[in-house]
């Protein structure tokens, strides 16, 4: 297992005061809190910070950790010394805030001893009944899945109590129907697909939160879709009938004459399907033909000469 | 060798019609009803229905409640702080969607 440098994780010196450690923890836990943070690996970082603080905030655990010596580096292969835990009394567990289940093997090997028995349900298996816990997970789907409905497979780790009465997580494969018209952030509730119960309790429920994988050209906002549509200058200026892709096939769209870049045209009901279907907004982007040939250059020069056009007139220059 | 057959499950989508009772919301957030009542008192959750026995919570209520519980537990934020954070998070979300709409 890998050695973890808890001081480095919190960004404090080895001789930092308890107050310094608390401040560093508070700051980093806000920075990496998965509900707030935009950092990619926020959840992992948040766990590491929590684990580091769990050890360093407790003078006894900190002293024990310090005793390992400073010769270790992050990621180095680590085994606890044979005389580990002698003279320290934290073996019985007793976690305050942290979710001990999420801590690293390194932490478990140092401070996790003896907790297994207190978490087990050895005696209560037959007389104790409890509903299984509800589980929450996320599932990424493609835009097309919401348009047509789909079946998606996902793998979950579900907590379970084994026959020996020990909490364990088990991998579980599920195939789930994605309802047509589902939007980003909506949840699907699957009754009885959550954590296993104790005794004669009922199993918990599973909640799946939908997120959309990015699409190469449609952007999704609730039920509405946005599409940037390049048009030629003459199409925008003179008006034209052009082909537009929609998730349900190509349609013809009339571009009004004298359209400007950024003009939004609405295709009603072409967004995500449903009782009140969303709309597809086409945003015009005027694309300039490259002036790479002599002919193109000549045409641009002709426009320059013959059109009295000052694009900066509104700026007074 | 044969691939194990997994049954296809059909869930219910949480929307205007499919909502949660107070008991279901408590279970989904793994908290006691008192904590949910606190969130309602603070205006963080707005259930539909006249009295607690008939309260119904939407999918976005579930999301807000779970974030609120986590912020309280992990960051020691008090209720007005949680309410403020949730409003700001939703504002950021709205602005990000707007940004994405303009600049893909």
Q: Which CATH number fits the domain that encloses residue B80?
A: 1.10.1660.10
User: Between 3.30.70.1380, 3.40.50.150, 1.10.287.110, 3.40.50.300, what CATH number should domain A6-119 receive?
Assistant: 1.10.287.110
Distances in Å between the Cα of A219 and the Cα atoms of A90, B82, B95, B97 are: 53, 30, 14, 9
pLDDT the model gives residue A188: 95
Residue B100 has pLDDT above 90, yes or no: no
Which residues make Cβ contacts (< 8 Å) with residue A82, sequence separation at least 6? none
Beta carbons of A219 and B70 less than 8 Å apart: no
Give percent of chain A above pLDDT 90. Answer: 60
Q: What are phi and psi of A230, to 5 degrees?
A: -70, 135
In the structure encoding, which two tokens stand for residue A125, read together? 């298996």
Query: Which chain A residue lies closest to B97 (C-alpha atoms)?
Result: A221
pLDDT the model gives residue A83: 67
pLDDT the model gives residue A118: 40
pLDDT the model gives residue B15: 84
Q: Which residues of B touch A193 (CB under 8 A)?
A: 9, 11
Mean pLDDT, range A108-112, rounded to an integer: 77
pLDDT the model gives residue A92: 40
Mean pLDDT, range A299-313, rounded to an integer: 94
Instruction: Quote the Cα angle for A157-A160-A164, to 5°.
Output: 140
Distance CA B67, CA A37 (A): 12
pLDDT the model gives residue A123: 45
Q: What is the pLDDT of residues B2-20, one digit of tens each?
A: 456 778 888 999 987 789 9
Distance CA B18, CA B36 (A): 19
- Number of domains chain B is built from: 1
pLDDT the model gives residue A39: 85
Task: State whether residue A54 is helix, strand or coil.
Answer: helix
Place of tokens 């005061």: A17
Beta carbons of B30 and A36 less than 8 Å apart: no
Question: Among the listed ranges A166-170, A210-214, A262-266, A285-289, which one has the minimum average pLDDT value?
Answer: A166-170
pLDDT band at A86; cut points 50, 70, 90: low
Residue A28 has pLDDT above 60, yes or no: yes
Question: Among the listed ranges A169-178, A267-276, B39-48, which one has the minimum average pLDDT value?
Answer: A169-178
pLDDT the model gives residue B103: 72
Domain carrying residue B28: 22-102
Provide the CATH number for the domain formed by A218-306 in this structure. Answer: 2.60.260.20
pLDDT the model gives residue A99: 46
Among B101, B102, B103, pick the best mutation site for testing chain A contact (most A Cβ within 10 A): B101
pLDDT the model gives residue A280: 97
B93 versus A107: which is more confidently predicted?
Answer: B93
pLDDT the model gives residue A246: 96
Range of A55-69, A82-96, A216-230 with top mean pLDDT: A216-230
Q: What is the pLDDT of residues A120-134, one digit of tens each?
A: 444 444 567 788 889
Distance CA B88, CA B94 (A): 10
Residue A68 has pLDDT above 50, yes or no: yes
pLDDT the model gives residue A272: 96
Range of A106-110, A168-172, A201-205 with top mean pLDDT: A201-205
Given a contact cutoff of 8 angstroms between Cβ atoms, the answer to whether A119 and A136 are in contact is no
Distance CA B29, CA A130 (A): 16
Residue A163 has pLDDT above 80, yes or no: no
Distance CA B67, CA A57 (A): 25
Q: What are phi and psi of A197, to 5 degrees?
A: -80, 170
The DSSP result for A93-148, as a single string, is ---SSS-GGGS-HHHHHHH-TTHHHHH--TTTTTT--BPPPPEEEEEEE-HHHHHH
Question: Among the listed ranges A200-204, B61-65, B79-83, which one has the minimum average pLDDT value?
Answer: A200-204
pLDDT band at B102; cut points 50, 70, 90: confident
Pairing of strands A167-178, A150-161: antiparallel
Q: Flag whether B13 is in a domain.
A: no
Please tell me what DSSP assigns to residue A190.
Answer: E
Beta bridge partners of A151: A177
How far does A74 lie from chain B, in Å, by closest CA? Answer: 25
Task: State whether residue A73 is helix, strand or coil.
Answer: coil
Which residues make Cβ contacts (< 8 Å) with residue A194, sequence separation at least 6? A132, A133, A134, A135, A158, A203, A204, A205, A206
How far does A293 lie from chain B, in Å, by closest CA? Answer: 31
Provide the CATH number for the domain formed by A135-212 in this structure. Answer: 2.60.260.20
Q: Flag whether B6 is in a domain.
A: no
Chain B residues near any Cβ of chain A (below 8 Å): 4, 6-15, 18, 24, 27-28, 30, 59-60, 62-63, 66-67, 70-71, 73-75, 85, 89, 97-98, 100-101, 104
pLDDT the model gives residue A162: 73
Instruction: Quote the Cα angle for B3-B7-B8, to 5°.
Output: 115
Mean pLDDT, range A297-308, rounded to an integer: 95
Mean pLDDT, range A62-89, rounded to an integer: 71
Q: Give the H or E element holding residue A211.
A: strand A206-212
């Amino acid at each position: 297992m890998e050695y973890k440098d808890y001081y480095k994780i919190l960004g404090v010196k080895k001789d930092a005061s308890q107050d310094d450690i608390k401040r560093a923890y508070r700051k980093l836990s806000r920075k990496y809190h998965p509900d707030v943070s935009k950092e990619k690996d926020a959840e992992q970082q948040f766990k590491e910070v929590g684990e580091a603080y769990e050890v360093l905030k407790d003078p006894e655990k900190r002293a024990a950790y310090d005793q390992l010596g400073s010769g270790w580096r992050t990621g180095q292969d680590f085994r606890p010394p044979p005389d580990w835990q002698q003279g320290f009394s934290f073996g019985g567990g007793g976690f305050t805030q942290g979710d001990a289940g999420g801590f690293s093997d390194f932490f478990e090997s140092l401070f996790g001893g003896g907790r297994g028995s207190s978490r087990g349900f050895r005696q209560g298996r037959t007389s104790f009944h409890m509903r299984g816990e509800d589980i929450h997970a996320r599932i990424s789907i493609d835009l097309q899945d919401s348009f047509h409905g789909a079946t998606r497979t996902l793998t979950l780790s579900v907590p379970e109590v084994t026959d020996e009465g020990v909490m364990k997580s088990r991998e579980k494969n599920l195939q789930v129907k994605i309802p047509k018209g589902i939007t980003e952030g909506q949840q699907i509730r699957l009754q009885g697909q959550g954590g296993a119960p104790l005794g004669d309790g009922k199993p918990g429920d599973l909640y799946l939160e939908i997120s959309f994988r990015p699409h190469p050209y449609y952007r999704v906002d609730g039920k509405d879709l946005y599409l940037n549509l390049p048009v030629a200058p003459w199409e925008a200026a003179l008006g034209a009938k052009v082909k537009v892709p929609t998730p349900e096939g190509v349609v013809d769209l009339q571009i009004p004459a004298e359209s400007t870049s950024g003009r939004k045209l609405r295709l009603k009901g072409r967004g995500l399907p449903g009782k009140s279907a969303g709309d597809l907004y086409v945003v015009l982007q005027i694309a300039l033909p490259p002036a790479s040939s002599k002919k193109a250059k000549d045409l641009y020069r002709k426009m320059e000469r013959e059109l009295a056009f000052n694009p900066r007139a509104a700026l007074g220059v | 060798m044969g691939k194990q057959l997994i049954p296809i499950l059909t869930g219910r989508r949480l929307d205007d019609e499919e909502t949660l009772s107070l008991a279901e919301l408590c279970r989904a957030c793994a908290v006691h009803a008192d904590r949910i009542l606190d969130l309602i008192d603070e205006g963080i959750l707005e259930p539909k229905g006249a009295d607690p026995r008939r309260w119904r919570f939407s999918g976005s209520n579930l999301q807000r409640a779970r974030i609120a519980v986590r912020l309280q537990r992990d960051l020691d934020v008090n209720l007005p702080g949680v309410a403020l954070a949730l409003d700001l998070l939703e504002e950021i979300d709205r602005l990000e969607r707007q940004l994405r709409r303009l600049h893909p």
